Structure 1
């Protein structure tokens, strides 16, 4: 019983964070605030992440099958850079949206999804492999086993998604889950 209540509280907190960030984004758009020089703040008022307009820091991480992949390998394509974990309910909710969008529009919209799993927050990589298989994920999944990219990108809330243009510049950041329609709209706006 206590576990169910605790799980419901966590889900409620994540939904609250997502709604708060959505409202903040809408208010900023309505006020026509130039977000290029701002840093997104989470619901606790803590500055979080990198600024819009910055070059996304390059990194090299391993895939589930041990291949090394650099973020810069995707230059020339638009990139949805998603930070997530298998234990995160909002992450579980957004993955099917990402997979459907990826299957339908990756070639047409010239983008790649790079899903960075915050493996340092989990017990073992085997859980990530099982998750990827269960959700039939076909886009690259990279393992941040040391938490280095979590620190570099200042990830305090997951999921967190950065939208990068073809030059690797951060054009948008979303804290909380994204859906297929919002991803398509964000990718279409990238150059």
Structure 2
């Protein structure tokens, strides 16, 4: 009887631990938190947006594909103002270029940058190698898509905010 009880405990533990979520960058993982300073120097964490669908957008002013998608991101952001947000993470190393780009494209969402991005833990935590790169996170902080752009991104956001 003890052996049966022990076997049941082992099976139950293995079943529940196999489905436990972990922090990581694969779809279904809990997104790693990011905490970087905004333009005013205030630390802003990604986790402060829990409860909303969030696009973590890694970009730089010197990245033409990043700049090409900014007008579409502005439109998308304005479509779901109470359910969707963007957490912009700039890789710029010059504050004037970073802030100038935010002003030029009229990006109303949270923008962060420590001007020394590659020495922060964020690139390693997100397994980043290049920009543009993005991660779409549901209202519970779970990654639901990676590196999605254009109409595919619009459709994913539409579906995520509807839930």
Q: TM > 0.5 between the two? A: yes
- Residue 106 of structure 1 contacts residue 112 of structure 1 at CA under 8 Å; is this kept in 2? yes
List runs of 5+ in structure 1 lacking aligned partners.
Answer: 1-48
CA contact (8 A) 1:118 1:150 kept: no
Quick check: 1:69 aligned with 2:39?
Answer: no
Displacement of 1:173 after TM fit? 0.4
Match of 1:171 among 144, 153, 161: 144
Change (3 A) 1:106 1:182: farther
Which residue of structure 1 lines up, in the alignment, with residue 127 of structure 2?
Answer: 154
After the TM superposition, which parts of structure 1 deviate over 6 Å for at least 4 consecutive aligned residues? Answer: none
What TM-score, normalized to structure 2? 0.76
Q: Which TM-score applies when normalising by structure 1?
A: 0.66
SS in 2 for 1:183: helix
Q: Which runs of 5+ in 2 are unaligned?
A: 1-23
Partner of 1:141: 111
Q: Which residue matches 1:97?
A: 72
Task: Look at both structures and tell me which one has the larger radius of gyration over its CA atoms.
Answer: 2
Q: What residue in structure 1 maps to residue 91 of structure 2?
A: 118
Q: Distance in 2 between matches of 1:65 and 1:96?
A: 24
